[in-house]
Amino acid sequence: MNKDWMNFEIGADINVEEIMQKIRAAIAEKQKAGIYTEESIEELADSKIMQFAEEAEIDSALLERLRSPDHSWNISPSYLITSHRTGIKAGLIKLTKRMVRPFVRLYTDHIFGRQAQINLYFAHLLHNLVRELTRLQINHTSLKHRTDRLEREKEFFEQRIRTLEKMVKFQSDGESADSNVQ
């Protein structure tokens, strides 16, 4: 299987049109062969996701995190307590933050937990929607080609029927002329 349309690096200059042309060529090859596997649909869906991200001008580092299987992009209720200050001020600020943290977390942990679940659900939902969209586009294209082929066959057979009807009419006219001559 030709996967050269997938050879690009995140963050590099990406020519979306060139990638789309390669994807369309790969689709055309597979349509001619009549081969579409779940793997190929997944590859096409991933390329669509990459295209959408490129069009949205998403930061390449964020895109890598969004595509990683460990879900490192999602929010977490745990966070580091730090300060950009140095010295005694920094120590006091960190101590104050550590003392206040349990009270703040009483109100925020539940919200962050729910938001993390919603984010994960939407990420899976969007990925599955792109995959299903890709599958439907492939089926649509296949049905469109099949409809075009059937239309051409229909026109051919209609032309053939008209020709045969003319031949039958011509023969029947010829037979009636022969019977008039006798």
Where the chain has pLDDT below 70, the residues are: 1-16, 30-37, 77, 174-182
Structure tokens at 139: 């089926």
Residue 150 pLDDT: 92
Residue 155 pLDDT: 94
Residue 107 pLDDT: 83
Cα–Cα distance, 182 to 179 (Å, whole number): 5
Residue 1 pLDDT: 45
Residue 114 pLDDT: 83
The pTM score is 0.50
Residue 36 pLDDT: 66
Using DSSP, state whether 75 is helix, strand or coil.
coil
Long-range own/partner contacts, residues 101-104 (CB < 8 A, 24 or more apart): none
Domain range list for the chain: 4-75+113-181
Structure tokens at 47: 């390329």
User: Residue 141: which H helix or E strand, with range?
Assistant: helix 88-181
